């Protein structure tokens, strides 16, 4: 049996064990995947990771608030994928040649979900609202798809820092979020990567802000952002698919198995649990 964990604080509500057991069943692998609560400090995180991999663990997911700490740990003692390097955050840990390897599958998970929804990314103008970790992880995968990006943020300086960090990969337009409070704006795809939906806050968007497709990286809470576009008849999508896709990419990295989401049985761990 192969062992996996997801490390976070809080962690009780993580859906990762259910997703990974679902994937494992679909390819006939016997795994254990459990939630690992970790005290919110660097030393505890290091100790948990060390104990897990020394004990023969195969892979770990990392969630709030440890993604940046995991990034630092891998950069000091192991290696990082280009996605984790540019995101400055790690959500997936594995061992490579006996050393820690950190990847970030969040942005590629977003891209996979958008493509799955039939959204064209090549040549598309994509507006992202927010300039935090969620946006940082999404930029490289979106640029790789040939998208043109405009980032809107409440604090312009954070958007400027992102623009500078990604200069070598392509040019990014930036703007202050408040410019969307009045006037007209159109993007092929508009993505909410702020934490506003999670904290129950509203982004003020004028009626002239329109899009071909609207995506909120959050899920499980009513999104005022998506409601704005839904009222306009725009196709909307929350971040549940991104959650599934980032997990799928981590599973594939760890096990070398390909997951076909159309052939996965969602009932055993996911649907029946939600309904019960």
221 included as an active-site residue: no
Q: Show the binding pattern over residues 167-206: x = contacts ligand ATR (CB under 6 A), - = does not.
A: ----------x----------------xxx----x-x---
Residue 77: both structure tokens together: 């003692």
CA angle 106, 269, 50 (to 5 degrees): 55
Q: Give whichever of 22 and 135 is closer to ligand ATR, judged by the CB atom.
A: 135
| Side-chain-side CA neighbours of residue 49 (13 Å) | 31
* Residue count, binding to ligand ATR (CB under 6 A): 15
210, 232 contact by CB (below 8 A): yes
From residue 216, alpha-carbon distances to 8, 213, 220, 243, 253 in Å are: 22, 10, 11, 12, 26
Q: Which residue has the tokens 């992202």?
A: 128
142, 151 contact by CB (below 8 A): no
Question: Given 67, 99, 163, 263, which residue is catalytic?
Answer: 67
Q: Show the binding pattern over residues 131-160: x = contacts ligand ATR (CB under 6 A), - = does not.
A: xxxx------------------xxx--x--
7, 62 contact by CB (below 8 A): yes
Shortest Å, Cβ 202 to ligand ATR: 7
Shortest Å, Cβ 2 to ligand ATR: 29
Q: Give whichever of 177 and 189 is closer to ligand ATR, judged by the CB atom.
A: 177
Dist. CA 96–CA 83, nearest whole Å:
16
Shortest Å, Cβ 222 to ligand ATR: 15
* Residue showing the smallest CB distance to ligand ATR in the complex: 132
Note the residues at the interface with ligand ATR (CB under 6 A).
Answer: 130-134, 153-155, 158, 177, 194-196, 201, 203
Q: Hey, which residues are catalytic here?
A: 67
């Amino acid at each position: 049996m192969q062992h996996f964990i997801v490390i976070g604080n809080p962690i009780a509500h993580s859906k990762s064990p259910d997703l990974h057991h679902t994937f494992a069943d679909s390819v006939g692998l016997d795994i254990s995947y459990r939630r690992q609560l970790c005290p919110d400090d660097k030393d505890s995180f290091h100790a948990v990771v060390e104990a897990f991999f020394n004990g023969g663990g195969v892979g770990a997911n990392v969630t709030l608030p440890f993604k940046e700490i995991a990034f630092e740990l891998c950069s000091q003692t192991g290696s990082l994928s280009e996605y984790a390097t540019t995101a400055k955050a790690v959500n997936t840990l594995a061992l490579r040649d006996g050393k820690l390897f950190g990847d970030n599958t969040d942005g590629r998970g977003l891209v996979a979900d958008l493509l799955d929804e039939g959204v064209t990314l090549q040549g598309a103008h994509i507006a992202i609202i927010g300039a935090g970790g969620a946006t940082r992880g999404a930029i490289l995968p979106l640029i790789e798809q040939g998208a043109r990006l405009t980032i809107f943020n409440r604090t312009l300086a954070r958007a400027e820092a992102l623009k500078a960090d990604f200069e070598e990969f392509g040019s990014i337009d930036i703007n202050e979020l408040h410019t969307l409070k009045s006037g007209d704006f159109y993007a092929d795809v508009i993505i909410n990567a702020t934490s506003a939906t999670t904290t129950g806050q509203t982004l003020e968007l004028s009626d002239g802000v329109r899009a071909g497709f609207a995506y909120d990286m959050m899920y499980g809470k009513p999104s005022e952002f998506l409601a704005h576009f839904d009222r306009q008849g725009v196709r909307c999508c929350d971040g549940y698919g991104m959650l599934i896709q980032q997990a799928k990419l981590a599973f594939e990295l760890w096990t070398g198995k390909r997951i076909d989401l159309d052939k996965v049985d969602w009932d055993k761990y996911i649907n029946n649990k939600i309904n019960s």
